Amino acid sequence: MDTIRESCGLGVAIYKQCSSNMHKLQMRFLTVASQNNIPIPFISLQDSYRAVDATTGSVILESGVTLPRLTSLGKLGINASGSELTEEDVNGLMDYSRQCSKLDFFWCFLPWSVSTHARPHSKRQVHWNPEDKDVLTLDSASGRWVNEETRMALTERKYQDMLIRFRLKWK
């Protein structure tokens, strides 16, 4: 258990470039940690997210390996360089990370708002960083994104401008 505690203690990054065998090994470690209530401070999916399995609620990695629900997970980070995540993706990840204190999205594009059933509980923070300069926080009451610095809600026009810049940069 000490090896697992040490391996998970600083958090875990799951990279797309790793083999499916490496992903399977990571999943075994994470599952044992969670089953033994060993805290997993964070998991960062580095371009390795593919989808959420609607039946099991597990995250499917690009390698096809499944990241099961982990009750001892504190924070989930999704780095999906250049991807445009759908409402279904966001809803699935919100549901998957329900027990987490924080959910972060980096370098991807998300829907303008999040539907009512997928919104986080008021204690969980959801951040979205689609570009270098803007960090947005999900307002759990309205389901809208709010600029962390200005505390202003993201307007539809600003969203469309961000989408154009995002597509020019990543496509």
pLDDT tens-digit readout, 79-108 = 999 999 999 999 999 999 988 999 999 999
| Average pLDDT for 136-151 | 90
User: Coil, strand, or helix at residue 127?
Assistant: strand
| Residue whose token pair is 């000490």 | 2
How large a percentage of the chain has pLDDT more than 70? 96
Sheet harboring 102-109: ordered strands across?
12-15, 43-46, 75-84, 102-109, 125-129, 136-138, 145-147
Mean pLDDT of the chain: 91
* 12-16, 29-33, 126-130, 137-141: least confidently modelled range: 137-141
**Per-residue pLDDT for 121 more than 70?**
no
